[in-house]
C-alpha cells in the first residue's frame, strides 16, 4: 500500500517518529523498505515544507535588516539537517573522501565505509553548507520571501527525485549486508519511478503558478545537470552507486537547483 510505504520512508530518512498504532498499521518488511524508495520525493514534501515554514516564519519575525535573510537561511538549514539526522550530508562527506583522491575503485569503496571524516569530506561538507546558506539568502534578497520559501520546498522535492534515476540505471556496488542503502540494492521498478515522478509533479504544480515558469524550468535543469554530473562520476569511479553516493547526489542536485534559480533571476 503506497501510504504505508510513505510512512516507512519518512521514518527511515527523517527523525519524525512513526511509532505506536501508526507503526503497527504501517508494518515493516524488507520488500516494503525497498518499495519505500518511490516515496523519497514525498519525504521531500515534508522536509521541504517544514524547512520553508521555518524560513518564512523567521524572516517575518526577524528585524527588517540586511542580515535577516542570512540568519533565517542559517537557522532553516540547521533545522533541515536536524530533521534528517544529517543523513544526506554524511553521504556527501563520505563520497568526497572516497572519490576526492586518485585512488582505485576498491580503495574508494573502503574509504567510503570508514565512519571517520577526512579532509576531502570536511571541505566538501563545509563548502556545501556555506553555498546552501548563501544561495537561500540570495534568493530571499533578490526574489523575496515567497520565491525563497517555494524554492526551498521545490528543491527538497526535486533533489530527492534525482537519486531514483541513479538507482534505476546503475548497479548497487556497496557492502550490501551492512550498507545503509541495503533496501535500495535492487533497481527501482517502473511503477516506483512513476510514483516518485508523481510526487515531484504535484510539488511543481503547487509552485508553478507562483513564479514565472522560466524560473522553475531553469531550476529543474540545474538539478538535472547536477544529476548528470554525479551519475557520470559514480559510473566512472565506482561502476555503480552506494548509499553515500545517493546522499551526495541529493545534496549536489539541491545546490544546483538553488544556483540555477538564482542565475535565472
- pLDDT of 129 > 90? The answer is yes
Q: What is the pTM of this model?
A: 0.92
**The pLDDT value given to residue 18:** 75
- pLDDT of 184 > 70? The answer is no
**The pLDDT value given to residue 177:** 56
Give the whole-number percent of the chain exceeding pLDDT 90: 65
If we measure between CA atoms, which residue out of 256, 248, 226 comes closest to residue 125? 248
**The pLDDT value given to residue 27:** 67
**The pLDDT value given to residue 111:** 86
**The pLDDT value given to residue 102:** 72
Which of the four pLDDT bands, split at 50, 70 and 90, describes residue 228?
very high
Which of the four pLDDT bands, split at 50, 70 and 90, describes residue 249?
very high
Q: Average pLDDT in the 135-146 region?
A: 95
Give the whole-number percent of the chain exceeding pLDDT 70: 91
The string of pLDDT tens digits covering residues 12-55 is 888 888 777 766 566 666 767 777 788 999 999 999 999 999 99
The string of pLDDT tens digits covering residues 3-12 is 777 778 888 8
- The answer to which of 50-64, 71-85, 112-126, 146-160 has the lowest mean pLDDT is 112-126
Amino acid at each position: 500500500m503506497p501510504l504505508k510505504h510513505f510512512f516507512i520512508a519518512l521514518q527511515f530518512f527523517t527523525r519524525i517518529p512513526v511509532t505506536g498504532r501508526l507503526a503497527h498499521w504501517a508494518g515493516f518488511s524488507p520488500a516494503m523498505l525497498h518499495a519505500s524508495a518511490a516515496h523519497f520525493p514525498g519525504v521531500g514534501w515534508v522536509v521541504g515544507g517544514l524547512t520553508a515554514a521555518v524560513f518564512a516564519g523567521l524572516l517575518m519575525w526577524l528585524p527588517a535588516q540586511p542580515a535577516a535573510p542570512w540568519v533565517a537561511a542559517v537557522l532553516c538549514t540547521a533545522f533541515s539537517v536536524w530533521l534528517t539526522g544529517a543523513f544526506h550530508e554524511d553521504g556527501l562527506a563520505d563520497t568526497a573522501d572516497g572519490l576526492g583522491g586518485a585512488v582505485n575503485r576498491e580503495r574508494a569503496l573502503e574509504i567510503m565505509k570508514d565512519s571517520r571524516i577526512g579532509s576531502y569530506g570536511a571541505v566538501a561538507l563545509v563548502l556545501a553548507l556555506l553555498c546552501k546558506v548563501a544561495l537561500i539568502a540570495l534568493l530571499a534578497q533578490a526574489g523575496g520571501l515567497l520565491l525563497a520559501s517555494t524554492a526551498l520546498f521545490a528543491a527538497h522535492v526535486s533533489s530527492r527525485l534525482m537519486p531514483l534515476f541513479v538507482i534505476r540505471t546503475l548497479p548497487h556496488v556497496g557492502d550490501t549486508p551492512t550498507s545503509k542503502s541495503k533496501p535500495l540494492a535492487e533497481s527501482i521498478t517502473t511503477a516506483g519511478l512513476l510514483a516518485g515522478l508523481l510526487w515531484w509533479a504535484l510539488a511543481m504544480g503547487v509552485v508553478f503558478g507562483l513564479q514565472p515558469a522560466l524560473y522553475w524550468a531553469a531550476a529543474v535543469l540545474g538539478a538535472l545537470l547536477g544529476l548528470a554530473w554525479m551519475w557520470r562520476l559514480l559510473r566512472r569511479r565506482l561502476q555503480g552507486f552506494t548509499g553515500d553516493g545517493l546522499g551526495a547526489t541529493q545534496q549536489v542536485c539541491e545546490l544546483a537547483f538553488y544556483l540555477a534559480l538564482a542565475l535565472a533571476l
